[in-house]
Amino acid sequence: MVSNNTQTFLAPINQVFPAEDDVNKHVEDNCSLMYLNEATLLNNVRVRYSKDKIYTYVANILIAVNPYYDIPKLYSAETIKQYQGRSLGTLPPHVYAIADKAYRDMKVLKMSQSIIVSGESGAGKTENTKFVLRYLTTSYGTGQDIDERIVEANPLLEAFGNAKTVRNNNSSRFGKFVEIHFNEKNAVVGGFVSHYLLEKSRICTQGSEERNYHIFYRLCAGAPEDIRQKFHLRSPDTFRVGTFLYLHTQYVDQ
């Protein structure tokens, strides 16, 4: 017999798991839960999310919930400073803490480090990857052009490889392997992005409620006159898709 104060119902014993009495209590690391099962883990993440604490650890893995709005100061310059050089777990869970751990491990172990970002469409992978890049270039850059160039390459890549889908207005339709290169003094000196499996079919056809790659609409809206003439650019509503396939291929190949 299970009771949640308002309702009592019967459940098979193999579907009933122990939980703490106070369902509003939350912890920064799921490993610290008194009872660890799927329900307590999800409840912990849910309670934290309701308090704008979108990050939770499972040891040195970070769970991020997409808040779909800008949480004040969560990614501010002050927050970046706070996380610099701090061990995982000394401050509230944050994607900056993961970035800093990777950086410190690279320095100490003198080995390349990888951060794997995974999740369903719209989970926040692209945004969190950008926060990691911003953190590393701001904290450990040389203060030269290259820092900004690494961060500012993203809008360009997104123009050609991101599109509106029914699940995400800015869905990445390609896989990305982002490298950040450091010199012997452990300062950021470069970057390299490899891309995989661009969804090329989207250039010709999109499902209803979905769109072509952002660059298509940007060109239709603001291309210089010579490009407008060359590719017969008009309003996107009247555009015949075949022409754009040629245009997109030309730009991507450059």
Ligand X SMILES: Nc1ncnc2c1ncn2[C@@H]1O[C@H](COP(=O)(O)OP(=O)(O)OP(=O)(O)O)[C@@H](O)[C@H]1O
Binding site per annotation, positions for ATP: 119-126
Query: Helices (H), strands (E): how many in the chain?
Result: 8, 8
Asked if 66 is part of the footprint of ligand X (rule: CB under 6 A), the reply reads yes
Nearer to ligand X, 29 or 127 (CB): 127
Specify the stretch interacting with ligand X by CB under 6 A; choose among 22-30, 123-131, 200-208, 223-231.
123-131
Q: How far is the CB of 174 from ligand X (least distance, A)?
A: 9
Size of the site for ligand X (CB under 6 A): 17
- Decide: 96 and 79 in contact? Cβ < 8 Å: yes
Asked whether position 123 contacts ligand X by CB under 6 A, the answer is: yes
Inter-CA distances, 53 with 77, 143, 199, Å: 18, 31, 34
Mark the segment that binds ligand X (CB under 6 A) among 85-93, 116-124, 141-149, 218-226: 116-124
Single out the residue of 37, 60, 76, 121 in contact with ligand X (rule: CB under 6 A).
Answer: 121
Show the binding pattern over residues 164-193: x = contacts ligand X (CB under 6 A), - = does not: ----x-xxx---------------------
∠ CA 90-64-42, nearest 5°, is: 100
- Beta-carbon neighbour count of residue 163 at 10 Å? 25
**Nearest to 130, CA basis, from 166, 170, 168:** 170
**Near ligand X by CB under 6 A, which window of 62-70, 199-207, 210-218, 239-247?**
62-70
- Residues in the chain, total: 254
Q: How far is the CB of 161 from ligand X (least distance, A)?
A: 9
CA distances from 173 to 81, 149, 170, 201, 206 (A): 33, 22, 9, 10, 12
List 70, 226, 237, 253, residue binding ligand X (CB under 6 A): 70
Contacts of 237 (CB under 8 A, 6+ apart): none
Of 35, 46, 67, 155, which lies in the binding site for ligand X, with binding defined by CB under 6 A?
67
155 contributes a contact to ligand X by CB under 6 A: no
Does 126 help bind ligand X (rule: CB under 6 A)? Answer: yes
- Asked if residues 125 and 117 have their Cβ atoms less than 8 Å apart, the reply is yes
Which residues here bind ligand X, judged by CB under 6 A? 66-70, 119, 121-127, 168, 170-172
